[in-house]
Amino acid sequence: MRTVATAGHVDHGKSTLVLALTGTDPDRFPEEKARGLTIDLGFAFSTLADGEEVGFVDVPGHTRFVKNMLAGAGAVEVCLLVVAANEGWMPQSEEHLRILDGLGVRHGVVVLTKADLATQDLLEKRTIEVREHLEGTGLADAPIVSADSRSGNGLDDVRVALAKVLAESPVAIDRGRPRLWIDRVFASRGAGTVVTGTLAGGRFNIDADVIAGGFECRLRGIESAGLQMTAASPGARVALNLSGVDHHALRRGDAVVLPEQWIDVVLVDVAVQELPGESLADRSRLTAHVGSGEHHVLCRLLDDEHRFARLRFSEAIPMAPGDRIVLRDPGRQTTTAGAAVLTIAPTNRSGDAAAVLAQPIAHRLLATGWVPLAGIAARTGLNEDEAVDKIREAGGVRLRDWYLDSTTVAGLRNSATRNMEAHQVDSPNSPGLTTHELARELALEHEHLLALIDNWDEVVVDHGCVRVAASQARVGDSPEGRALIATLDSSPFAPSPPEDLAIARALVREGSAVDLDGIYFSSRAVSEARSLIITALRERGSVTVAEIRDILGSTRKYVLPIVAHLDRTGVTRRRGDDRIAGPTSGLL
């Protein structure tokens, strides 16, 4: 299904045209029928000659109901712009055109209605007049056809033109991230809460868990064009039956999305398209229309040319780059600009934003710093695979669960290397900087520092300390290290406590010494003890601690840690008061 919205001045025949095309009167309320004036959105469906199913959203044309018009047009990409042939271009014709342009609508048909009330010369004049107004907008090349809804003259031309435009316009993209802006909420007897809207971005499947207006609920039913469906595709006009949320808790402007696919934000940076004769004021308070919703925003201009702005919403809503916004002045009740979302939840200073916003989406995102992989689709407006490809093409490097600009990675690693080398000069016997110390010196979150050094071949991480692998001299080769090893080996099985514990611990890390329950032995001494005890086990079958003491010529203070170490490593195995050969002794 494709969805088409009407637009145009009040009383130019939008609802009558929809009735003539579909057989359904889109005016739903008695006061609308009584007054002949559309107040709120109306809906109807029809099948064109080529089999294309079309859902029509009919919008009010009166200036008092512009916000309702925006609610209906906010999620569609094709329009029927209606101009009465007997009256011609009118104020709401112009405002609706500018709204459509601000929403990025680039495909549509202009219908000169009430054609039976105009002469051929007048119709030709109106066609020229309309074409002049369309110039410079996204609908500049839209076909213009004449029709009379009451007599039926020209309706087939409308259908043909609409079918051609729909065939030429791109179908709604399925990015696997559905979102439906709610334009109507009601309770249906026997079904419960029902919401309607135009689906975009992806598919909804029946029984799916969804988030509606911030509430967790289940999608119990889907209906489109009066038919019950098991799934709905993007571009379709649908009604969703929701369980788990009361209809009073939802309102027009809320969104229905899948869990964890969208980010609710209050701050967005946008590209601005001011309407002719309009100029945004810095720090102005405006009304922003997004999807089917109306929100209060504070607008901060980001450059002197008014190309970019930062909008702060009064409430968080699920937005993504690419979303279109219409900005209106609530005091003058006029449309002032259209805007396209470039970045959601920006973190850079507003003074630096303009230079970044002129870049493509991946560069904009990388300019914010550490980009989490989680939510990367929401931050780009793409699906995850598309987002990752674009970020990699833009020079993004994956570091654990983040992407970071390759130049930034190189700069941080250069700074880290300088810090580690300086520390090594100042403290040659130190195992290195702790990761917390290095994170603090680089002004990084600790988890970001761990990601930065992960799989970095030029550094060594050991027991929470990090050092440069190439520049780290072995402590065992230093005069102090060699002296301590000599001291330990001078009495191998009863060594004296080291005077410099930092050097002793460094020797342990390098494998030149062993710390057994707080007593430091040289690795050579432990290896020799192992050989002597294995020889004794080969000859005797078993040995006691006292016999091991005599074999090593030591005391229980030193022998017990050695025996415990041999037990742990499987060289010996305890049996009562004896030690017998273990699985790693080579005797079994």
Judging by beta carbons within 10 Å of its beta carbon (0-12, 13-18, 19+), is residue 151 exposed, middle or buried?
exposed
Sheet (strand 42-47) strand order: 42-47, 53-58, 2-8, 78-84, 107-113, 144-146
pLDDT tens for residues 98-141? 888 888 889 999 999 999 999 999 999 999 999 999 999 999 99
Q: How far apart are CA 47 and CA 58, in angstroms?
A: 16
Three-state secondary structure call for residue 430? coil
Say which DSSP state 280 is in. Answer: P
pLDDT tens for residues 515-552? 999 999 999 999 999 999 999 999 999 999 999 999 99
pLDDT tens for residues 240-259? 999 999 999 999 999 999 99
Three-state secondary structure call for residue 153? coil
- Residue ranges and CATH numbers for the domains of the chain are 2-168 (3.40.50.300), 179-257 (2.40.30.10), 485-581 (1.10.10.10)
From first to last of its 588 residues, the chain has per-residue pLDDT tens of: 888 988 899 889 888 999 999 998 876 656 655 555 565 788 889 998 888 889 888 887 555 556 676 776 766 788 999 999 999 999 889 988 988 888 888 999 999 999 999 999 999 999 999 999 999 999 999 999 999 999 999 999 999 999 999 999 988 889 999 999 998 999 988 788 999 999 999 999 999 999 999 999 999 999 988 899 999 999 888 999 999 999 999 999 999 999 999 999 999 999 999 988 899 999 999 999 999 899 999 999 999 999 999 999 999 999 999 999 999 999 988 889 999 999 999 988 888 888 889 899 999 999 889 999 999 999 999 989 999 999 999 999 999 999 999 999 999 999 999 999 888 878 776 778 999 999 999 999 999 999 999 989 889 888 888 988 865 567 777 888 899 999 999 999 999 999 999 889 888 887 889 999 999 999 999 999 999 999 999 999 999 999 999 999 999 999 999 999 999 999 999 999 899 999 998 887
pLDDT at position 66, please? 65
Evaluate whether 161 touches 141 at the Cβ level (below 8 Å): no
Across-strand partners of 462?
Answer: 465
Question: Within the chain, what is the greatest distance between any pair of CA atoms?
Answer: 125
Sheet (strand 465-468) strand order: 433-434, 465-468, 459-462
Q: Pairing between strand 204-205 and 53-58?
A: unpaired
pTM of the model: 0.74
Phi-psi region of 260 (alpha: psi -120 to 50; beta: other; left: phi over 0): left
| Single-letter amino acid, residue 563 | V
Evaluate whether 155 touches 45 at the Cβ level (below 8 Å): no
Q: How far apart are CA 399 and CA 413, in angstroms?
A: 12
